[in-house]
Amino acid sequence: MKLYRNNKGFTLVELMLVVIIIGILVAMVVPRLVGRTEQARVAAARADIEANIGSALDLYELDNGAYPKNLEALLEKPADEPNWRGPYLKKMSKDPWGNHYVYKCPGTHNVDYDLYSYGKNGAEGGGDDITSWGEETPK
């Protein structure tokens, strides 16, 4: 009568080999992903400024003949705008760092309006502002 060993499962060596391989893969991939979070936030803010809010401001101007005095006019009808066909945005979002977008009409950098985010530092200047006039220097 022969006895057969039932080899179900993995040995410690096999498990350690798998853990080492996963560790090597993680060591190669993680450094490439570090720092991408801030780049994603800058890209999201730029998309809001150029596409989302910027397009809503342009639609408002087409309907009413002038840009709004404030961003709230994109959500709720101002009393002095008979041609308002909004809301032009579903909601007014904050920038990716949790701050409100800054809107000035008329603008000091653009003729029509200035729209920008203070960026990561939450204050004007500092080289991380994302603007509608293209002078941002994100890190």
Residue 28 falls inside a structural domain: no
Residue 15 falls inside a structural domain: no
Residue 9 falls inside a structural domain: no
Quote the mean pLDDT of the chain.
84
Domain count, the chain: 1
Residue 44 CA to residue 46 CA, distance in Å, equals 5
- Of 39, 21, 7, 29, the C-alpha closest to 119 is 39
Residue 50 falls inside a structural domain: yes
Q: Could you read off the pLDDT of 34-85 as tens digits, one per residue? A: 767 888 888 889 988 988 899 999 999 999 999 999 999 999 999 888 899 9
Residue 55 falls inside a structural domain: yes
Enumerate residues 6+ apart whose C-beta is below 8 A from 95: 45, 48, 101, 117, 118, 119, 130
Which range of residues forms the domain containing residue 95?
Answer: 38-78+87-139
Q: What is the CATH number of the domain that holds 135?
A: 3.30.700.10
pTM of the model: 0.70
Question: Which residue reads 């309907």 in tokens?
Answer: 63
Residue 103 falls inside a structural domain: yes
Residue 121 falls inside a structural domain: yes
Q: What count of residues does the chain have?
A: 139
Residue 59 CA to residue 82 CA, distance in Å, equals 15
